[in-house]
Amino acid sequence: MKKTILVAVALFSLTSLQAQFVINSTFQPMTYDEIVAPLRMYQQAYDEALNRLDSYIDKYAEAMNEEKYRSAKFYLERCIQLNNRFDGNLIKPKTLQDALAQCEKLIELQDKERAQLRNRNH
């Protein structure tokens, strides 16, 4: 009984396997556009990221000139986040980290100066 069931299952599986093959199939290679589409999407995202990074850097420079160090730090952090999305390929991460450290020092100095001014006025 078990042998007949196994034979029946084996014959059924062999016929179902044959039914899944397409006999008259033709090879359809991918077109150039289909191959390059992911690269184009990456290039578009990369270009958009560079444009956004440029705007962040411009806003950072403007904030530094106006001595708005907290705003400058905000834009630097945005640059770092954007750069991290592209594995540090937009700008050298060390450059951004150094600028952030400098910005944090300037914030500390500015806070100390404001505290001293408050103490003098009171």
pLDDT tens for 22-42 read 667 787 888 999 999 999 999
| Angle subtended at Cα 51 by Cα 80 and Cα 39, rounded to the nearest 5 degrees | 90
Token digits for 39? 């690269």
1 DSSP assignment: -
Give the HSE-up count for residue 108: Cα atoms under 13 Å, Cβ half-sphere: 6
Helices (H) and strands (E) in the chain, counts: 4, 0
The per-residue pLDDT for range 53-108, each reduced to its tens digit, is: 899 989 999 998 888 888 889 998 998 888 888 887 888 888 888 888 888 888 88
Using CB atoms within 10 Å of the CB of residue 79, give its burial: 0 to 12 exposed, 13 to 18 middle, 19+ buried.
Answer: buried
| pTM exceeds 0.85, yes or no | no
pLDDT over 90 at 4, yes or no: no
pLDDT of residue 40: 95
Phi and psi angles of residue 92, each rounded to the nearest 5 degrees, phi first: -60, 125
pLDDT over 60 at 14, yes or no: no
Sequence ranges of the domains in the chain: 29-121
pLDDT interval class at 2 (50, 70, 90): low
pLDDT of residue 74: 92
